[in-house]
Amino acid sequence: MIKTAVLGATGYAGIELVRLLTNHSEAGIEILGSHSFAGQKISDVYQNFNHILEKECEELDLQKAAKCDVAFTALPHGASKTVIPSLLDAGLKVIDLSGDYRYDDVKVYEEWYGEKHSSPELLKESVYGLPELHRDKIKKARLIGNPGCYTTCSILGAAPLLANKVAETKNIIIDAKSGVTGAGRGLKLQNSFCECTENTKAYNIAKHRHTSEIEQELSNIAGENIMLSFTPHLIPQKRGILATIYVNLNCPSSTEELTEMYKEYYKDEFFVRVKEAGNLPETKHVAGSNFVDIGICYDQRLQRAVVVSTLDNIVKGAAGQAVQNMNLLFGLDEKTGLSNPGFYL
Amino acid sequence: MIKTAVLGATGYAGIELVRLLTNHSEAGIEILGSHSFAGQKISDVYQNFNHILEKECEELDLQKAAKCDVAFTALPHGASKTVIPSLLDAGLKVIDLSGDYRYDDVKVYEEWYGEKHSSPELLKESVYGLPELHRDKIKKARLIGNPGCYTTCSILGAAPLLANKVAETKNIIIDAKSGVTGAGRGLKLQNSFCECTENTKAYNIAKHRHTSEIEQELSNIAGENIMLSFTPHLIPQKRGILATIYVNLNCPSSTEELTEMYKEYYKDEFFVRVKEAGNLPETKHVAGSNFVDIGICYDQRLQRAVVVSTLDNIVKGAAGQAVQNMNLLFGLDEKTGLSNPGFYL
Amino acid sequence: MIKTAVLGATGYAGIELVRLLTNHSEAGIEILGSHSFAGQKISDVYQNFNHILEKECEELDLQKAAKCDVAFTALPHGASKTVIPSLLDAGLKVIDLSGDYRYDDVKVYEEWYGEKHSSPELLKESVYGLPELHRDKIKKARLIGNPGCYTTCSILGAAPLLANKVAETKNIIIDAKSGVTGAGRGLKLQNSFCECTENTKAYNIAKHRHTSEIEQELSNIAGENIMLSFTPHLIPQKRGILATIYVNLNCPSSTEELTEMYKEYYKDEFFVRVKEAGNLPETKHVAGSNFVDIGICYDQRLQRAVVVSTLDNIVKGAAGQAVQNMNLLFGLDEKTGLSNPGFYL
Amino acid sequence: MIKTAVLGATGYAGIELVRLLTNHSEAGIEILGSHSFAGQKISDVYQNFNHILEKECEELDLQKAAKCDVAFTALPHGASKTVIPSLLDAGLKVIDLSGDYRYDDVKVYEEWYGEKHSSPELLKESVYGLPELHRDKIKKARLIGNPGCYTTCSILGAAPLLANKVAETKNIIIDAKSGVTGAGRGLKLQNSFCECTENTKAYNIAKHRHTSEIEQELSNIAGENIMLSFTPHLIPQKRGILATIYVNLNCPSSTEELTEMYKEYYKDEFFVRVKEAGNLPETKHVAGSNFVDIGICYDQRLQRAVVVSTLDNIVKGAAGQAVQNMNLLFGLDEKTGLSNPGFYL
């Protein structure tokens, strides 16, 4: 059994990790790290865990952590940086859910996060934890920067067009809609029920940090520097991101042809489901699962592809992807603990 | 008092018209037309009207209708065409909420609706009922094609950029999100609570009929033929459309400059509220009201404007705009019966 | 025009008062009192008010308040007590939305609120502001204790059975379900979207303060001391309370007979709508309006009445009732500004 | 591996069975019976099953069914009766999710369902499938009447008080709130999103069929004939039932004492979680799981217990309980395939 530590276990990404790990046949939770709830049973904080996992939350104790094989760090932005070097020194592998270790170029990080990076040498070592693109590197990594939710959805939605060189790299537009779990569990008026329900809004237009992750990965695939529009929206549901991606093509095509291209590109990927031509994905098809569903339309009038990509932001967009990465790190079948269908209801 | 007939009173657009008209100081409802509920009191079909309006629904009787001043036709697609010529002959003014009388060019209608138009001569006479663009013509009209919900939101969101000639007319993309009332009251599995809640999806990509209305009006403003991407989405709320509009600019600008341009363009429009620079609209700010709220961002990296436009799809996107048109037709203050704030809660 | 001051204007009850007063033909808002948002325009805090009411919020200034005719105090529990005596001294009438002035007997207040009452002499003078029961006293009052939301719904639902002496006064059980606006706008994790949506729970069983208000009023009607079970629940919607009331009867009856009894009891009440036998109320029929809808069933097997009563907790359960009381205080038609149907959608 | 047939696989209870069985280590699905979708892949009807289960739905073929070990019949009311005898003849065990085989006394069935029972001899043989009460009989059964959702929640909530003889058997009142999946997937206007969201209502007061099941089981426990009030409500969420149960006690008690009584009564039950005194259950704690959570309050003023019981109506209230029964029938650990925590989010 893989011994895991979940640090930041009582946030929404953290508790989803706990939920997935309690259902994982090859891994067990040794440490439930939570600053806010240290000393309380996880089953008192999240009462769905009664009779399932009644372990106590605790402050991070590095000596104790040293007995684990891997740590998931689902900490508030900035907190990861101070903890992760110590965990690595203690011999653990680390899967970090923050943005700190997702960049090839420290300058990009510092520009979009507006601060100095505290361990740029680790940033060089870390691997971007998107298995569908970087599986081989992930297997050998010590530190994984687990991608953001918007990012995974957007990159996987656009990648085949760029890899196949049919996309014009200017004028790529990604319009993304996210459920409210994406905003985390912190107290904010704007996330209260009466403010959120029956409401949709855009936010952080032209400046959301995930833009830089998406540009990094798509540029790598395209082999040229891509800049694009990314617009996040908040919609009144808990789980789910749906990204609508507009890409001008450099030659005429058809919905069928593009669908085939996607099917071919993802033919070995269990967690990517390409919809048949004429069929579109919906967030409810993926909620609660580690799948990404992608549907493609060709707009003949405009020689433009419109791709719809969807995933569960706290599973494939956070906790599920982290487990997928753990499976790779430890030589397990990538699907272990993740092969359930979505909830649908 | 203006005597009105509401035909199709028991659909969602129809009943919203009834709600607004019961609060209108200068108009009264003479006829509640409903094929499905003829013989039943409106207050039995929509019990929120008990003690307010207990009138019976009835089948259309042209002789009786002839005593009215104006008819609102909120009928299923296709049904308007057969009724409206008779109403006009009977001397009524007609405000039609279907798509039948919204086009300058019958060919565009026939291409997007896939059928012959039954009264092309009336189409020539009819006026596109968007007061912010066509107020003077509306005042003198006999037949008004009341714009669609997506359409109003999109056109008013993009118009100032085109009118001011700062937009590149290629690569305009409109990504729109709509509440479920937009799908009407007809029975469909996909509109049931358990299928809709916690779900977001795109539909009719590259082929939604409202695309043609948006293109017609924006082309008129720009003075050139515009083709654009319009993508509708369904989101889990009742009321509200939010359109995110991407427009490349032909020169550098700033959020402040664009905001000023919008404020100037709409300076005499009560129902259009331009947000201050840095502030974005939300559907809850407009729900239940006749307002359109618009916020503008400039993306300096891409020389692109990202405009967010929002309205209540069954008020400014249907019933409220119809009342606004009626006010214009009868020489009333345009705001009569429409000057309430949104519900917010 | 009646000059009004709304103190606590930016809470949910307060802002609903503002919404209703902007639609009131005989009253105007002179003062928008808000400690948290003093100096900000109300239309910046609640952006649905743009173009409608762009007045600034302010700290309470008694000299300025003295120019008003009436103050609505929608302040946090406890805050009303210190302000209200000063307002009365300044010559205003006061309609208080807190629990401080709703009791006949100061001991009941002190027992249920767990603290000394700061102005018991005013409690003697104050009138319980439920027009359907105390209209004549309200007209002559200086200080009105505006009833709670659960309370209004429960009392009006049970009153006819007690007034007509058909109820057994033991074993009355009131099971009430409330939307989340009832919890106010204060920041609490339990009221966040992700915690509230898809969730129902009971709370404060056997100890909710509104129990004492309900018992006071029903005891007065029955002419004997009544103790009952009152259980509040939180349900995932914004507006609406639905109370299911179980009352054993002292003689056999029928749904029709009980319905007639209710219709007779409320025959002069515009804001109480008794459903026909076999028909039950729903929160969506009353949301956004000042109506209380009541349906009655007789359970023959158990000789028990099951009454379902529903209202909008922030209208008839707070702001709407406060306006109704203001209308009575100033000799206006009780329906002024309140005669709209519910939103339904 | 146990070979199962799921008949009525595309309704909401059926598809939840499919979801649970795909996660069951000891059972496999041989037959997906669906009249409406015969010939279509289940993963086209419920696209969350893509890459997981891509089997075709089919009409019932008894010869093929004969190769299975057990059939789950999740058919519309009435349909079970004709199919089940044939399945039994073919040698299968049957777990029926309809109301047809839940009664000790055929007269009770015929009174509440208003029709003749077609196989009263099987009714004699069938076992009421509530493991917490009838585990031993279930293990040896051939035909199991799987209890209703409201029923399971209500019976388990009230049982300890009756078994311990502290309850007065008159005046028991059960006020239950259910999510909309309980209404099934059939098309009804009242179940559409725009009609359900932001709405709560009671229905079938004093005549819901589940009343008779609850009375049967509680009478058996009490050893006397019990009649009670049961009131179902529809609340705007997908999953979850919460029943609030009012029981007068025949002697003074306390919340702590009652809580101990419940803990003792359910001490060997994995799927029943009794909350600590002062703590109450919420539907989100059980959604997606097979747990029943129960909290108890004592109202000292009224010598009355108020018990809150909650479960997921399509898991412990339908599909999960059916799997639990299957586990018992085939000698497996009762928790097999059911030991996951709820979703919470």
Angle between the D131-139 and D320-329 helix axes, to the nearest 10 degrees? 40
In chain C, whose CA is at the least distance from the CA of A183? C194
Whole-model pTM over 0.80: yes
Chain D residue with the nearest C-alpha to that of C293: D201
Search chain B and give the residue with CA nearest C237.
B345
**pLDDT band for position A140 (50/70/90)?**
very high
D contact residues 62-121, partner C, Cβ 8 Å cutoff? none
Query: In this predicted structure, what is the pLDDT of residue D333?
Result: 98
Length of chain C: 345
Is B187 within 8 Å of D187 when comparing Cβ atoms?
yes
Pairs from B219-228 (Cβ < 8 Å, separation ≥ 24): B220/B104, B221/B133, B221/B159, B221/B162, B221/B163, B222/B162, B222/B163, B222/B167, B222/B169, B224/B169, B226/B162, B226/B169, B226/B172, B227/A301, B227/A302, B228/A302, B228/B172, B228/B173, B228/B174
Kindly determine whether residue D233 and residue C244, on different chains, have CB atoms separated by under 8 Å.
yes
- A188 reaches C (C-beta below 8 A): yes
Residue C40 CA to residue C9 CA, distance in Å, equals 12
Hey, are the CB atoms on D192 and B189 less than 8 Å from each other? no
| Per-residue pLDDT reduced to its tens digit, B192-207 | 999 999 999 999 999 9
Q: Give the residue among C338, C331, C329, C333 at the shortest CA–CA distance from C92.
A: C329
Residue B6 scores a pLDDT above 90: yes
For residue C78, name the pLDDT band (cuts at 50, 70, 90): confident
Looking at chain A from residue 203 to 242, which residues have their Cβ under 8 Å from any Cβ of chain B?
Answer: 203, 205-206, 227-229, 231, 233, 235-240, 242
pLDDT at B81: 76
pLDDT for C341 equals: 97
pLDDT in tens, C252-307: 999 999 999 999 999 999 999 999 999 999 999 999 999 999 999 999 999 999 99
Can you tell me which residue has the tokens 């106590």?
Answer: A56
Running DSSP on this structure, what letter comes out for residue B314? Answer: T
Q: What residues of B act catalytically?
A: 149
Q: Quick one: tokens of A293?
A: 């569903």
C68, C149, C153, C196: which one is catalytic? C149
Question: What's the pLDDT tens digit per position in B54-112?
Answer: 999 999 999 999 999 999 999 987 777 789 999 999 999 999 999 999 999 999 999 99
Kindly report, residue by residue over C238-250, the tens digit of the pLDDT.
Answer: 999 999 999 999 9
Chain B contact for D278 (CB, 8 A cutoff): no
Collect all residues of chain A within an 8 Å Cβ-Cβ radius of residue C193: 180, 191-193, 195-197, 236, 238
CB contact B314 to C (< 8 Å) = yes
Contact yes or no for D242/D152 (Cβ under 8 A): no
Q: Is the pLDDT of residue C209 over 80?
A: yes
Could you read off the pLDDT of C148-159 as tens digits, one per residue? 999 999 999 999
Active site (catalytic) residues of A:
149
Is A152:A289 a contact under the CB 8 Å cutoff? Answer: no
Range 10-39 of B in CB contact (< 8 A) with A: none
Residue contact C198–D284, C-beta within 8 A: yes
**Is residue A141 within 8 Å of residue A123, measured between CB atoms?**
no
The answer, yes or no, to whether residue A81 has pLDDT greater than 90, is: no
Average pLDDT, chain C: 97
Percentage of the residues of chain A whose pLDDT score is greater than 70: 100
Min distance A274 CA to chain D CA atoms (Å): 10
Tell me if residue C153 is catalytic: no
Lowest pLDDT segment from A5-14, C78-87, D179-188: C78-87
What residue of B is the nearest CA neighbor of A176? B175
Give SS3 for C168.
Answer: coil
Asked if B308 and A345 come within 8 Å (Cβ–Cβ), the reply is no
Which chains have 3+ CB pairs within 8 A of D? A, B, C
Q: Which helix (H) or strand (E) holds A127?
A: strand A127-128
Residue A50 sits at the chain D interface (C-beta within 8 Å): yes
* pLDDT of B113 over the 90 cut: yes
DSSP state of C301: T
How far apart CA B274 and CA A190 sit, in angstroms, is 21
The pLDDT, as a whole number, for residue A180 is 98
Q: Do B192 and D185 touch (CB under 8 A)?
A: yes
Using a CB-CB cut-off of 8 Å, the residues of chain D touching B188 are 187
Is the CB of residue B325 less than 8 Å from the CB of residue B313?
Answer: no
Q: What is the pLDDT of residue C77?
A: 74
Q: Which residues of chain D have pLDDT under 70?
A: none
Assigned token pair, D205: 């007061």
pLDDT of B190 higher than 90: yes
CA distance D185 to chain C (A): 18
Q: Please, which chains are in contact with C (at least 3 CB pairs closer than 8 A)?
A: A, B, D
CA atoms within 13 A on the CB side of A112: 20
Of B199, B229, B236, the CB nearest to A306: B229
Give the pLDDT confidence score for residue D80 in this predicted structure.
78
CB B29 within 8 A of CB B49: no
Contact with chain D for residue B278, Cβ under 8 A = no
DSSP secondary structure letter of residue B189: G
Task: List chains adjacent to chain B, taking adjacency as at least 3 C-beta pairs closer than 8 Å.
Answer: A, C, D
Interchain CB contact of C313 with D (< 8 Å): no
Inter-residue contact C74 to C64 (CB < 8 Å): no
C189 interfacial to chain A (CB closer than 8 Å): yes
Cβ pair B18, B31 in contact under 8 A: no
**Cα–Cα distance, D128 to D219 (Å, whole number):** 14
Interface of D with A in 118-147 (CB under 8 A): none
